[in-house]
Chain A
């Protein structure tokens, strides 16, 4: 039996059998959640664990003994004694056929990983189920909205599979309701109120819709600019440099450049969420205005570039002179609320160890 490790997150109400293994489950858990916990590979396209289960893509179907048709595991609650099979020939065939139909609707199935956090989901499943075979030649649904000139979110609905993750994340996670679904069937279209550009909607450009899109229909326009840069994409976990919420982010780098940001789905403060600043305002790092050399002001008032040794010496000499002339209480240090601990700690140590005073502050008073 696979016992629940963390029993605090809910009451254990019973057990089910998954692929021959007895597993405990919590009150309210779905079959999909139980299966995911036991590391079963159940495919999904419309599922984002932060959102209410939706049951649209039907890929997560499993067989349950005593029920004639396969059931969508994401919307079916686990119940005592269920005997579940997540991988059978019939289920696999069903999933493959569904994926072949999904593939037939989309113009572009080869999506660059810079498009968004979940952008590889469809492609990965097509490979896994060998479903990208052109078996169905179908009509394509959705209509590209490339007229939207916003610089952040590319809306290519030719690649939309109507999983509604974007609509749901906007409503459930962000509470913004900027986008919605219009029409049905092949005419299904994700749109804003009155079909306006995102800028004229309730959209805050948090980028959550982009990051949850499993097909690249929504693409991070800033990141995708680096598509043709040579080199592999690396991810480095860090923290957003803006407000005090402290959202964990993954820095996407290519060739020693930051090319994009993705929210850390397991970030303790943000749990996958970001805002426009954290998501898109990162390229100041490589701005040509960056200071690259120490600068020393000359007698004529202009700065000249210097090497570190000279600059540090000049900085030190100035403090030493002022100290000699006016005493140790004539020197003051201001630390930043933007730089890391090591900076703030060093400014205060510089003042305290250097001059024996507490003449130190930071920017929190204004």
Chain B
């Protein structure tokens, strides 16, 4: 998030797009509800009538995967109505002329048939966002899990840049991160393009710095992504991947293409999985190593607002379970590697801080109470609750020229229904944890497919019937639930239940830049299963 969570109580206009916040980030959503109670207006763009959409002043039920068209048309209206922040654009951005010229043709009338939203509603949303002072953008995977994920994010950046809603209190562009330490995994350099602290691997100076620190010559070029690595698993030739270390990820269940992923992992000669349970992924490993869990581990994690906080162990782990860092450094030492002699989590974290400019002012003792948001470049630095206040890290904010593209697959005669996927309040990801916590089943004990009642009627489906849902990649059976949360022509389910492996269906395409899968869009065919009760 560019802005702190506390800023969520202060926008004038909230623009929430592709975020089911009351279910996925419920505590953050309470802050939006408070802003609304104080008089803020909220626009929600989401194909589904989520709880957030129900409390919005304006709901744009756009067709799945049409975000770029909507955002182009909003930019068009903002420019036409002269709601642009000219001073901000002149002082802090670049590329505005080309951008303002580019968006001229993308009127609400153009976007309306693509998004399946009335042009007047798009006009209204654009005016509100443009007039708001401040206006804040919130988004989640509904923006990123598309083949146009990067385009979607950059389209949102364009809106914020043209209206000057960056670096201001209560404004900004705010992605809500989905996992407790997914921000931290990136901070720590667990990505193919960055060393810890977002230092680019392709920068020879940085490669030299880490080669020296780690006592090994490290390639001064980006590695491959997980998606490519899985594709290359077991392949002949130089690109083949033959061993993997997977730490705490149930890849088989979360991967956008289950069958492919399972086969990939089976193709490996050596797979080591570290986890707290025997997950579907661990089942495929040669070696499974037991890790300590929440409440048993001392450590650090970073939240969605870049706040670096301490985790504390309160109980002993079961049996021989050990912290991940202990296990992995142990393997490295067994391989004869130097520099893996650690006594504690504190040693590890302090080493990270010493190598990462955004953490340079932090250390284990300083983060005792979680009061710092990175970047914290020096030991007396107070942290940075709000990014981009005075300047952008890279100089000027760049407008990007973006065009609309259809999703990887679109509905047709054979697959006439849009499937979109997401989460539910009571279940977390693959339920390895929520599914093993007592009581959760009372509220959510099975997965279902949300279908608009009128669609169901037309398809001859009643509430509670089992349906067969097919895509170009596979088929699953799932119980139907009739609800007007789903719009006509679009159905919804989550991928939390292993009994309903929705990732057999998905996996139609990937964003060309990030290789994030288009989990939010998958054309399907649905038919009643007669025989099943």
Contacts and interface: CB of A to CB of B under 8 A. Distances in A.
B248 interface: yes
A344 B185 contact: yes
B241 to A, nearest CB: 5
Contacts of A268: 307, 309, 370-371
Contacts of A361: 190-192, 223, 225-226, 229
A281 interface: yes
Given A352-B216, A365-B515, A239 B191 contact: no
B225 to A, nearest CB: 6
Q: Which of B185, B288, B293 has the most A CB atoms < 10 Å from its CB?
A: B185
Interface stretch (B101-109, B318-326, B399-407): B318-326
Contact of A281 (B22, B340, B433): B433
Given A354-B216, A362-B185, A281 B428 contact: yes
A257 interface: yes
B242 A330 contact: yes
Which range holds the interface residue count of chain A? Answer: 35 or more
Interface string B514-530: 11110100000000000
Interface string B309-352: 11111111011111111011111111101011000010011011
A341 B352 contact: yes
A175 B55 contact: yes
A358 B223 contact: yes
Interface in A196-252: 199, 204-206, 221-222, 234, 236-248, 251
Interface residues of B, number: 149
A184 interface: no
A335 B157 CA distance: 29
A285 B315 contact: yes
Interface of A is mostly: mixed
Given A151-B439, A319-B331, A331-B241, A244 B293 contact: no
Interface in B146-181: 176-181
Contact of B190 (A206, A241, A347, A355): A347
20 contacts: A238-B310, A241-B433, A243-B177, A244-B177, A244-B178, A246-B304, A274-B27, A276-B443, A281-B434, A291-B275, A291-B278, A294-B289, A318-B287, A330-B242, A336-B324, A337-B179, A339-B299, A344-B247, A347-B245, A365-B517
Interface of A: 149-152, 172-175, 199, 204-206, 221-222, 234, 236-248, 251, 253, 256-258, 267-270, 273-278, 280-287, 289-297, 303, 307-308, 311-323, 325-327, 329-366
Interface of B: 5, 22, 24-28, 30, 33-34, 36-37, 55, 145, 176-193, 195-196, 201, 210-211, 214-219, 221-227, 229, 238-249, 251, 254-256, 269-270, 272, 275-278, 282, 285-291, 293-297, 299-305, 307, 309-316, 318-325, 327-335, 337, 339-340, 345, 348-349, 351-352, 370-371, 425-426, 428, 432-440, 442-443, 514-517, 519
